[in-house]
Amino acid sequence: MGISFVKGHGTENDFVLLPDPDGQLDLTPERVRALSDRHGGIGADGVLRVVRASQVPDAPEGVTPDVWFMDYRNADGSISEMCGNGVRVFARYLVDSGLAEPGELVVGTRAGDRPVVVHGDGSVTVQMGPATLRGRSSATVGGTAYSGVAVDVGNPHLACIVLGGPDELAGLDLAVPPGHDPVLFPHGVNVEFLAVLDSGDSGDTLRMRVHERGVGETRSCGTGTVAAVTAALHARGDDAGAMTVEVLGGRVSVTVGDGQSTLTGPAVFVAHGEVAPALWG
Ligand SMILES: N[C@@H](CCC[C@H](N)C(=O)O)C(=O)O
């Protein structure tokens, strides 16, 4: 019997999902890299193993043992605590495959339990937990330093406002990882660059690009959008509010405040199949 997979994305941040109801899959970093490879593999920004929390030895204390756990891996094989777009895709997979009832459910992650609502139109709202400011820092792109704030969304972020607006944002070369302070971010960091667009009828809108730890530039980062909104609110003296975030792969809605943040956006499936034995081997 082969190893089945599902391919999906949230605003084009794409994932290979590996259902592992019995906790049998040995998901090594080499296998994650092979699956994620866009030329020799299926291609993805990350891999999501679908497993019960009780079968994950490094699941943090406090995660409910019988919930489905999103065992998230970056494309380079590294582990991250949290993935906002991934949780949306993961939750919709649980509902579509009959592993969870539609509506409200809880997804376990290395950042803790995340309550989720899967809406009738297939979009998903995730309670992302607190977005915590950790001080100022800067990121360097092409010799230019961009000032930003460190934000902990379960995983580490540095969100930098680009003062030159959308044009300067579009011109940033994110093919090379932005320079960052290794003392403040000893385990690496996801770096967001954001331009504040004019307020529209539905509130403030940010445009964001992101360089993800363990991946490179991606077309979206859910935890990154929460960090970006937190940084934009902080820059104008607020600690709560709601914004739309435009990313390369679409749009999401974010709220921040009262020690909680939420992320709402699409979850889409594009393929399913079996991993070829040679790729897994
Ligand atoms: N794309 C994700 C974040 C994935 C993890 C990140 N690269 C890290 O290493 O922390 C999201 O949607 O939040």
Same domain, 121 and 137: no
Which of 63, 128, 221, 233 is the catalytic position? 221
Q: Which amino acid is at 75?
A: A
Could you identify the residue written with the tokens 């594009």?
Answer: 270
Query: pLDDT digit string (tens) for 112-130?
Result: 999 999 999 999 999 999 9
Same domain, 231 and 176: yes
Q: Are 200 and 117 in contact (CB under 8 A)?
A: no
Structure-block tokens of residue 205: 């809108």
For the question of residue 221 being annotated catalytic, the response is yes
Same domain, 118 and 14: yes
Q: Residue 223, exposed/middle/buried by CB under 10 A (0-12, 13-18, 19+)?
A: buried
Q: What is the CA radius of gyration of the chain?
A: 18
Ligand 1 atom with the shortest distance to the CA of 188: 9
Q: Are 166 and 195 in contact (CB under 8 A)?
A: yes
Torsion over CA of 209, 211, 212 and 216, rounded to 10 degrees? 120
Q: Are 153 and 129 in contact (CB under 8 A)?
A: yes
In the annotated binding site for substrate, the residues are: 13, 74, 84-85, 155, 190, 212-213, 222-223
d(CA 279, CA 260): 40
Same domain, 146 and 75: no
Structure-block tokens of residue 136: 């100022």
Question: What is the domain-level CATH number for residue 165?
Answer: 3.10.310.10
Which of helix, strand or coil describes residue 11? coil
Same domain, 195 and 233: yes
Same domain, 85 and 159: no
Same domain, 95 and 174: no
Same domain, 104 and 201: no
| C-alpha of residue 241 to centroid of ligand 1, in Å | 23
- Best mutation site among 76, 80, 109 for ligand 1 pocket (most ligand atoms within 8 Å of CB): 80
Same domain, 109 and 139: no
Which of 83, 151, 160, 206 is the catalytic position? 83
Ligand 1 atom with the shortest distance to the CA of 13: 1
Q: Are 61 and 52 in contact (CB under 8 A)?
A: no
Query: Mean pLDDT score of the chain, rounded to an integer?
Result: 97
- Domain of 122, in residue numbers: 3-127+267-280
- ipTM confidence score: 0.99
Query: pLDDT digit string (tens) for 54-109?
Result: 999 999 999 999 999 999 999 999 999 999 999 999 999 999 999 999 999 999 99
* For the chain, percent of residues with pLDDT exceeding 70: 98
Same domain, 250 and 274: no
Which of helix, strand or coil describes residue 111? coil
Q: Are 245 and 85 in contact (CB under 8 A)?
A: no
Residues 6+ apart with CB under 8 A from 253: 242, 243, 244, 245, 263, 264, 265
- Residue 1 pLDDT: 65
d(CA 93, CA 24): 19
Cross-strand partners of 245 = 206, 252
Ligand 1 atom with the shortest distance to the CA of 218: 1
Query: pLDDT digit string (tens) for 193-225?
Result: 999 997 666 669 999 999 999 999 999 999 999
Same domain, 9 and 123: yes
Q: Band the pLDDT of 4: cuts 50, 70, 90.
A: very high
CB half-sphere exposure, 238, CA atoms < 13 A? 12
For the question of residue 160 being annotated catalytic, the response is no
Number of domains within the chain: 2
Same domain, 63 and 98: yes
- Residue 198 pLDDT: 73
Residues 6+ apart with CB under 8 A from 62: 112, 113
